[in-house]
Structure 1
Amino acid sequence: MRLVLQRVTGASVRVSGKIVADIDTGLLVLVGFGAEDGDAITPVMYKMIEKMLDLRIFSDDTGKMNRSLRDITGDILLVSQFTLYASCRKGRRPSFSDAAPPDVATRLFDCFVTDVATRHNGKTASGIFGADMDVSLTNQGPVTIVLDSRDFSE
C-alpha cells in the first residue's frame, strides 16, 4: 500500500462536475494498493493508518510541526489512486501491473475508509473508487509525505 499525504487548508473531489466530497483543514490522502498487498487489510496497513493519523505535520502556535491530525481534529479526504503503482521503467507508457486488481482494490479501499473513519475523531470523506475524479486542493506548506508498506515491518 502506498499513501501520499498532503497537508491542506481545503480539498474536494468532483465527479461529473458535482462535488462528491470536500474537507477543510486536514489531509488529502491518495491511496494505492499493490498486487502484493493481498486481499485483506493487514497489520502493516493498520500501522500505516495509525502513523497517518499521528504524524506531527501540523503547526503549533510557534510554527513548528508538532501537532497531528488527531491533535487538531482535522478532516481527512481519502482518494483511491492506482497510478501510485505505475512503473515507468520501460518505454513511454506506464505499466500498472504492480497495482492490485480492481475488485481487490475496491474491497481494500472500502475497508480502509471504514477503518480510518472509526479511528479518526474528525470528518472522514472519500472519493468514488474507479470514477474519473477531479481533485482540487490547497496544499499548505507545501507538505507532502509518502508512506509505503515496504517501509513498515509486521
Structure 2
Amino acid sequence: MRFGDALKALELGKSLQRTGWNGKGLFVYLVPAASYQAQTGAAREHFGEGAMVPYNAYFAIKNANETVSTWVPSVNDCLADDWGVVGCAVPPHQQCVLDEKQDTDIRITKLDEFIERNPAFLDLPVSERSRMKRQLDVMQELSTILAERIAAF
C-alpha cells in the first residue's frame, strides 16, 4: 500500500512495516496524544515534581534491537508503495480490495452526512441533489460488491 493509505491504517491503530526495510522486526505505529508523569529533570523543573506532562501524538518505530524510538518518515518512505500491516498475511491484490473498501466506506459516510445533515445540500439545485443521491447509491453498491469479494478471500 502507499503511504497515504498507511497513514489511515496507523490512525486505526495498526502497526506497519515496509517490505523494503532491511532491519528484521522493524515496524512503526502511532502513539496517540496523552499525558505522562514527568520523567526528566527538565520536565520536572518546568511542569513540577510529579506533574503530568501533555504530549502530542507522534510516530514510533520498534527497532531491530527491541528498543523504541520516535520516527519521522523519509521522502522514500512517503513515496513507497510497499507498506503493509504487521502480521497481515493478505496478498497485495487482496490488500488493494481491502483498502478500496475502506476508502469507499469513508467516502460514503462523508457524502451521506452531507446529504442528511448539511443545510447547504438543500441550497443545491434539485438536479444536483438527485445526482448526489444517485452517486451515494452507486457507492453503496460498490461497497457491497467489495464486501462480497472480501468474504470470498
TM-score for both structures, normalised by structure 1: 0.22
Tell me which structure has the larger Cα radius of gyration: 2
TM-score for both structures, normalised by structure 2: 0.22
User: Which of the pair is proportionally richer in helix?
Assistant: 2
Q: Which has the higher strand share?
A: 1
